A = this chain, B = another copy of it.
Amino acid sequence: MNFLEERIRKDGIVKPGHILKVDSFLNHQMDIALLDEIGREFKRRFSDVPVTKVLTIEASGIAIAYPVAREFGVPMVFAKKSKSINIEGEMYVAEVESFTHKNKNQVIVSKKFLSPDDHVLIIDDFLANGCALQGLISITESAGATVEGLGIAVEKGFQIGGKIIRNLGYRLESLAIVDAMDPETGAITFREQP
């Protein structure tokens, strides 16, 4: 087990309905030392690719992307979620349809902050159905920039998002992949990773 898997097993709470609560250290209250370690780990895993921007999505993604951008010494950009906006040609917009909720959301990034010269590392805290990540990929490619990889703290391996992103040929690194959870015992099964 790596440091994040250990922490999830220690402080994560499994609830019925495939819910894993990590809000005491990852996405409501944040353990900064843990996040700094996540930043170093992504730097290690993506040390072979050029990165000019770290891209994430509000809100909790910001706290994962911060230490990653810090390690790479590049700016961080966060996409905003929007129900409907005046686009005015100033924004890259991805329409993202939720698998779960059936509704559509917009993900937006100002055109000022992504260009064809950019090599983008996409970072987020959670990956389940992958809707948000697909929006971030779409926006990066709308800008003509290169998706160098995607880094996720916690992937729900029993949901479809990771498979879709990997099938599309993207390099996706998830620090912890949860393959099964038992709300009765609280047991969490992580996927073995090389």
Contacts and interface: CB of A to CB of B under 8 A. Distances in A.
Interface residues of A, number: 29
Given A58-B58, A63-B66, A78 B31 contact: no
A133 interface: no
A66 B29 contact: no
Interface in A85-117: 109-110, 112-113
A30 B70 contact: no
Interface string A9-35: 000000000000001100011111001
Contacts of A67: 66
Interface of A: 23-24, 28-32, 35-36, 58-60, 62-63, 66-67, 69-70, 73-78, 80, 109-110, 112-113
15 contacts: A23-B112, A28-B78, A28-B80, A28-B109, A29-B76, A29-B77, A30-B66, A31-B75, A32-B69, A32-B70, A32-B75, A58-B59, A62-B63, A63-B66, A63-B76
